[in-house]
Structure 1
Amino acid sequence: MTTIFYARVSTADQTLSHQVSQARAAGFEIDEVLSDHGVSGVSTALRDRPEAKRLFDKLRKGDTLVVRWVDRLGRNYADVTDTIREFIRRGVTIRTVINNMTFDGTPQDPMQEAVRDALIAFMAATAQAQAEATKEAQKAGIAAAKMNTTKYRGKKPSYDRATLGDVVRLLGNGLGASAVAKMTGLKRQTVLRIRKDPSVAEAALQKWGL
């Protein structure tokens, strides 16, 4: 039985070493690492990515696929749900580093299967919604930065783009500001400001070129 860690590295802040270190720090024992860099999680299906498509050849019954969160598999609802269910049918266990979620074929009762599938659907939908929200926030942030004609950029953000994405996603999952602050290492007030207007937080990153 093999444990494969898959990473999709979409920004400079989400380095492969960071994702792997985070997984190992959480107690995961990894046998192999596969990663794709600079590929869109929205427009590119998992099986169409250079390294990710190897998962479909490598993963066998009893193997475990570990990802930082389901959004590393993709940000397209249909693709993510179809992929996870296909791996489960093969007897593969899917685990996430964040939230420590486990999806496998253990549930035999139809009701339990329905609950599992509903959770998969919710997480996949959240990943796509966050991608769409981030895209809109980036547009608003760029527009706000262009409107600012002064040289003063304000205080440098205490978060990077990856952390901002985590905050938006965790808040979208229903977590409170205090819990999100603890999980991301940010101050509660910072999380509250991001929750109030993500586009302002994105604008701050734009101003500092982060």
Structure 2
Amino acid sequence: MAAVVFGYLRASTDDQDAERAKGDLVKFANEHELRSPIWHVENESGAKLERPELFRILEAAQKGDILLIEQVDRLSRLNTDDWLKLRKAISEKGIRVVALDLPTSHMLVASGDEFTGRMLDAINSMMLDMLAAIARKDYEDRRRRQKQGIAKAQAEGKYKGRGADLDKQAAIIALLKAGRSYSQIEKAMGVSRPTIAKAAKVAKSAELNQ
């Protein structure tokens, strides 16, 4: 019986297009004669373990099924402890993670003898761990640069507003960096979407001007 394919599409915030890579995943599935993917889409940070759609996949998947992703960082920007928890959950279910940016994983699509399968799985697991670590480092580096850029913008007087407004904007930026969605920030802070968008623009500008 052919493996079930779960296509996982993730973006960090509501204003990002989580389905951007869908076409590439469909093309890959067709080229490798896989089943049409069952899609799971969510806007959550890859730096947080609590992602409902991802865990719906893990709950539904059976041994040998495929978790198809664009890049390893779509699956994880997690810290070490959380990554190990996720890897354990994937391993215990016997799910094959196939990422477009990880060529060694493409070989897991084809069925073969048990020895070859175990060797490929071991190699792919090592590569997954390496790319997950790189994704986490990239996430931490970007957060550090953004923080430095915002501090520089504040020092140069590029931040508009005073007092409580600046505090609120800083809090919104912190929530955005933590992967919270616009809807979540609206509820938590009692602010409008334009206010959140303005804070996001300030954070981006600060990063580019560092």
Runs (4+) off by over 6 Å:
none
- Greater RCO structure (CA 8 Å; 6+ sep): 2
- The one-letter amino acid of 1:132's match is E
Contact preservation (8 Å) 2:104, 2:123: no
Counterpart in the other structure of 2:126: 118
Structure 1 residues 121 and 141: alpha-carbon distance in aligned structure 2, compared to 1, 3 A threshold: same
Structure 1 residues 119 and 7: alpha-carbon distance in aligned structure 2, compared to 1, 3 A threshold: same
Give aligned-pair identity as a percent.
24
CA RMSD, aligned part only?
Answer: 3.4
Structure 1 residues 101 and 5: alpha-carbon distance in aligned structure 2, compared to 1, 3 A threshold: farther
Q: Return the offset for 1:101.
A: 4.3
Structure 1, unpaired ranges of 5+: 151-201
Query: Which has the larger Rg?
Result: 2
Structure 2, unpaired ranges of 5+: 31-35, 109-113, 159-200
The alignment's TM-score, normalised by the length of structure 2, stands at 0.58
Counterpart in the other structure of 1:144: 152
> For the residues of structure 2 that align with 1:82 and 1:102, how far apart are their CA atoms?
20
- The one-letter amino acid of 1:206's match is S
Q: Return the offset for 1:15.
A: 0.9
1:12-91 alignment, distance < 5 Å: 14-25=16-27, 27-29=28-30, 30-37=36-43, 39-42=44-47, 44-45=48-49, 48-76=50-78, 77-91=80-94
Q: Return the offset for 1:28.
A: 2.5
Contact preservation (8 Å) 2:66, 2:96: yes
Counterpart in the other structure of 1:98: 101
Higher share of residues assigned helix: 2
How many residues in Structure 1 have an aligned counterpart in Structure 2? 152
Structure 1 residues 83 and 115: alpha-carbon distance in aligned structure 2, compared to 1, 3 A threshold: same
